[in-house]
Structure 1
Amino acid sequence: MVTTFFWGGTFVAGKWAVGEAPPFFVAFLRFAIASAALWTLVAWRYGGSGKRFPMPEGGPQWTGLFSLGLTGVFLYNFVFLTGLSWTSATNGSLIVAFNPLLTAVLSALWLKERIRPVQAGGFLLALIGVGVVVTRGSIAVIRSLSFNPGDLLMLGAPVAWALYTILGKKVLACFSPLVATAYASLFGTLLLLPAAALEGSLLSGVHRLSVYGWISVLQLALLGTVVGFVWWYEGVEALGASRAAVFVNLVPLFGVLLSVLILSESLEVSQLAGGILVVLGVAIGTRGGRENRDGDSG
């Protein structure tokens, strides 16, 4: 539960950080710090155990790890932080809440698995909820195509994360989650470095951040990335994947609450209605997916 609280807080921290510095600089700083912490954990875990340090062997493993950095770090944070610079943290948290179900459906299509009717129904319900949030519940927005560009960019975040998750399944056959995430963070940081440099923010960005800006970046890097990752997998190990997955539905709830409390964002009726549909659709769809897998394995 604390992990989902940290993840909900990334929307507030991201919104605050991009209010002070450009998105690529914030993303680069986030993952430079996260990479240092993650590789420290890797060195601590493997250095004292006598195990061989995890190095990729052959082109396919290097390519797989690089693809994680490209999708889950570079692309995800580009649309996530750039989107937050134009839309509210509330909208961002509700749109990205579509993430688990989109990942499940795309994974099923990618792996040629059968999608149950309950999954399809949940996906449709969540998609309608995202539509309500993006259009602010107004038909006029659809007719005039006057969408918030931040909302449209934020729609790319669940897609990028779904690709990261699907590609990660093959990588995790060779590396532990900690090692795979450390490599993904490292490659993502290397990709973000030239982007931040071209953005013209690499040197000036440090001076733009206030104390609260640095707190936001550290929240993104340490609590949202490093601690969140470690605690999440500890929770999965203790509870099992199916029970742990239920807690993901708390992320948009914490995201909205923190946005209202810290950023003083208002919660509109369309956001509340859309958020309920998204969370309900995700809960139904992911539950249907787990039942499907349980039934197949039995």
Structure 2
Amino acid sequence: MSGNLKPVYLKLVLTTFFWGGTFVAARLAVKEAPPFFAAATRFAVAAACLIALTAWYARREKKPFPAPRSVRESGLLLSLGLTGIFCYNALFFTGLKLTTATSGALIVAINPLLTAVISALWLRERVSLTQGMGLMVSLLGVCVVISKGSWAVLAGFAFNKGDLIMLGAPLCWALYSILGKKALATFTPLAATAYASLFGAALLLPAALVEHAALGGPWPSFSWVGWLAILQLALLGTVVGFVWWYQGVGRIGASRAAVFVNLVPFFGALQAALVLGERVVLPQLCGGLLVVAGVYWGSRVNGEKQQVAIQQSRERGVPGEGRGKAGI
């Protein structure tokens, strides 16, 4: 490992550590407040920081603030907020209110491969046999996780509701990632994520008000533990994680950086055990290994092809792919 890349790899590892911690933080947050209120608070903080950071970068580079220039661009940014922020976090926080942080981290680990497969289908690209097999292995792992290795649970469809809700989160993230690719034709990853967080927060706020009216009682509030959880979600899991991730993608490429994503379920389960006292049972361990193996297997060929394409572009003097996917 070359000396100048050590800080890059360290930041990528820390980023996946922060993302693994979001499952623990969200679990703590929904113990003190309803899901939509917790999600709205998270992205109100994150959006304010990301918009300020976007403005700072624009000013440093002596460029105007990157505002949408048409209804189409505004609609695209709104769709990012709807899929990747509103829908994803509605399922994320609601699911974690009903299941463990460990199960949530293992289920959502299917994100990268599901995104690749749905993206290929949506963009009418051929899905390789390796991708299909990798998806099957990952889905088998998810089934083991949500059934806790019990055939009776599978046969009777007696799944934990939180696990089933969490299954919708990777689908929302896949749609968000596909839309994010289109947004990157016009906006930087930072600007696209800032707008996604802003629109997402704007959608989550009225949902939190409806949620409060339906549940009744006093307005939710957080203890210092709850606020630490919200700040971890907003600052470390969203803002710092986003900036460091794209710094890493810019230095080593999207395909090499994507390998680090496989650390997220490991760090999620580890922090859940240390902070929440959750115990990883054997079926969860086996299922998690299947999920990670399937993701790695299904993504490996595409990653190798992408790296070759980047190298060929560099040899021709064309800038390589440094942005990756929007919306971390």
TM-score by length of 2: 0.88
Q: Aligned residues: percent identity?
A: 58
In 2, the alpha carbon distance for the partners of 1:3 and 1:293 equals: 23
For the pair 1:227 / 2:231, whether they are aligned, the reply is: no
Equivalent position amino acid for 1:76 in 2: Y
Alignment-derived partner of residue 242 in structure 1: 255
Q: Partner residue of 1:213?
A: 226
1:134 match: 146
**Deviation of the 1:16 alpha carbon:** 0.6
Say whether 1:290 aligns with 2:300: no
Q: 2:159 — aligned with what?
A: 147
Name which of structure 1's ranges 46-55 and 167-176 shifts more when overlaid on structure 2: 46-55
Structure 2: distance between partners of 1:214 and 1:50: 36
User: How many corresponding residue pairs?
Assistant: 296
The CA deviation string for residues 191-233 of structure 1, in whole angstroms up to 9 with x for no partner, is 0010001111897122xx1111100000000000000000000
Q: Deviations over 1:49-101 (max 9, x none)?
A: 32122111111101100000000000000000000000000000000000000
- Which fold has the larger relative contact order, with Cα–Cα distance below 8 Å and residues 6 or more apart in sequence? 1
Tell me, yes or no, if structure 1 residue 68 matches structure 2 residue 108.
Answer: no
Match of 2:131 among 88, 97, 119: 119
3-state SS of paired residue (2:125): coil
Cα distance, 1:288 vs structure 2: 2.0
Q: Between 194-203 and 229-238, report the one with greater CA deviation.
A: 194-203
Q: 1:102 aligns to what SS in structure 2?
A: helix
Q: Equivalent residue for 2:270?
A: 257
- Structure 2 CA distance for aligned equivalents of residues 36 and 296 of structure 1: 37
Structure 2: distance between partners of 1:294 and 1:176:
21
Q: Give the CA RMSD over aligned residues.
A: 1.5
Instruction: Give the letter aligned to residue 213 of structure 1.
Output: G
| Secondary structure at the counterpart of residue 143 of structure 1 | helix
What are the residue-to-residue correspondences of 1:5-84 with 2, within 5 Å? 5-84=17-96
Whether the 8 Å CA contact 2:131–2:299 is kept in 1: the answer is yes
Q: Is the 8 A contact 1:104 1:289 kept in 2?
A: no
Alignment partners' CA distance in 2, 1:135 and 1:200: 32
Instruction: Write the distance in 1 (CA, Å) between the matches of 2:305 and 2:55.
Output: 39
2: CA distance between counterparts of 1:85 and 1:20?
10
Q: Which amino acid aligns with 1:205?
A: P
Tell me the distance in 1 between the aligned counterparts of 2:153 and 2:70: 50
Mapped to 1, the partners of 2:192 and 2:244 lie a distance apart of 16
Unpaired segments ≥5 residues, structure 1: none
Extract unaligned runs of 5+ from structure 2. 1-12, 313-328
Take 2:308 and 2:62, find their aligned partners in 1: how far apart are those partners?
41
Do residues 204 (structure 1) and 222 (structure 2) align? no
CA shift digits 1:225-262 (9 cap, x unpaired): 00000000001111111110000000000000000111
1:176 to 181, 184, 188: 188
Query: Matched residues in 2 for 1:153 and 1:186: separation?
Result: 24
1:116/1:288 contact within 8 Å kept: no
Give 3-state SS (helix, strand or coil) of 1:63's partner.
helix
Question: Normalization by structure 1: what TM-score?
Answer: 0.96
Displacement of 1:290: 1.9
1:270 and 2:287 are equivalent in the alignment: no
User: What amino acid is the match of 2:82?
Assistant: L
- 2:206 alignment partner in structure 1: 194
| Structure 1 moving runs of 4+ over 6 Å | 295-298
| Distance across 1 between alignment mates of 2:206 and 2:188 | 29
Larger deviation, residues 229-238 vs 47-56: 47-56
- Please give the per-residue CA displacement for 1:178-198, whole angstroms capped at 9, x wherever unaligned: 000010000000000100011
